[in-house]
Amino acid sequence: MISKIMPNKQFKNFPLIGAVFAQVISLVIIKLFIEGFSLKLTSISYAIIQGFTAALISQGVFKLPKWFLTISLLFPFLFLLAFKFIHFSNSIYGVLFLFFSLTFSHTLKERVPLYLTNQKTYEALKKILAQNNASTFLDLGSGLGGVVRSLSSLKVKSIGVESAPLLWGLSTLLSMITLRGKILRQNIWNTNLGEYDVVYAFLSPAIMTKLYIKVKKEMKKGSLFVSNSFEVDGVTADEIWQLDDKRQTELFIYKV
């Protein structure tokens, strides 16, 4: 019944919103029960019931990814703990809200979290660029700009595009201080890929198919698209580099 009224398709694209809805619906159901049966619950038993109901809704009704099960179960406890034991000043809420919205704007919208490329991957990317005589490099969604700065050299013009304001600001500052690379405050989807020899992405499986269509349409012949960790569904990579770092990074290389 709920799944008929609720926009399940939207929750597929924005699972965090689905998780919040699951908590709200669970809250309403439990409140009705408490009032209807005049129940008296301790805050801890309330948190348990709230977590279980929200987890059931998130999986059974909204069909959110499995990891939302844990989040839904734990959220009421963490909420309870935070309010019981930590006394926040009022302004901290505003600061936190601002920080999260300026940093993680894409986590909700495009399911692209912020995780960063490591040193070993920088070195592998440098090799890929050298082997292919590349002189222009683009990092799609450049985060703190580490890849862009690391690959910038006299031979390589290294550019990043980043639209989360705080990340863009910080990485631009770092580029200015180190005189390495350049970060454009730009959305991936409005970026023309045509002028780069190597385009790098460390994004999310959720957008790989859409991104690859853009790559095929815009990138010049002979250039390379390198994806950290996420393959393009149904397309065999021309090369896969398995790195010996802790997370066993795989670089999927597609020749255009």
Ligand X SMILES: C[S@@+](CC[C@H](N)C(=O)[O-])C[C@H]1O[C@@H](n2cnc3c(N)ncnc32)[C@H](O)[C@@H]1O
Is residue 218 within 8 A of residue 194, CB to CB? The reply is: yes
- CA 18 to chain centroid, in Å, comes to 16
Work out which of 23, 53, 163, 249 binds ligand X, going by CB under 6 A: 163
One-letter amino acid for residue 56 of the chain: L
From the CB of residue 250, how many other CB atoms can be counted at a distance below 10 Å?
A: 15
Is residue 110 within 8 A of residue 101, CB to CB? The reply is: no
Is residue 125 part of the contact set for ligand X (CB under 6 A)? no
Going residue by residue from 182 to 211, which x/- string records binding to ligand X, judged by CB under 6 A?
-----xxx------------xx--------
Is residue 161 part of the contact set for ligand X (CB under 6 A)? yes
Rounded to a whole number of angstroms, the minimum distance from the CB of residue 109 to ligand X is 8
Is residue 74 part of the contact set for ligand X (CB under 6 A)? no
Cα distances from 251 to residues 104, 188, 227, in angstroms, run: 24, 20, 6
Taking contact as CB under 6 A, which single stretch among the options 6-14, 63-71, 135-143, 212-220 is the one that binds ligand X? 135-143
Is residue 13 part of the contact set for ligand X (CB under 6 A)? no
| CB environment 138-165: b (16+ within 10 A), e (fewer) | bbbbbbbbbbbbbbbeeebbbbbbbbbe
Backbone dihedral region for residue 88 (phi beyond 0: left; psi -120 to 50: alpha; all else: beta): beta
Rounded to a whole number of angstroms, the minimum distance from the CB of residue 237 to ligand X is 18
Nearer to ligand X, 60 or 194 (CB): 194
Is residue 152 part of the contact set for ligand X (CB under 6 A)? no
Is residue 199 within 8 A of residue 142, CB to CB? The reply is: no
Nearer to ligand X, 95 or 116 (CB): 116
C-alpha to C-alpha distance for 212 and 207, rounded to whole angstroms: 9
Is residue 141 part of the contact set for ligand X (CB under 6 A)? yes
Going residue by residue from 83 to 122, which x/- string records binding to ligand X, judged by CB under 6 A?
-----------------------x---x-x-xxxx-----
Is residue 167 part of the contact set for ligand X (CB under 6 A)? yes
- Applying CB under 6 A, which residues contact ligand X? 106, 110, 112, 114-117, 139, 141-143, 146-147, 161-164, 167, 187-189, 202-203
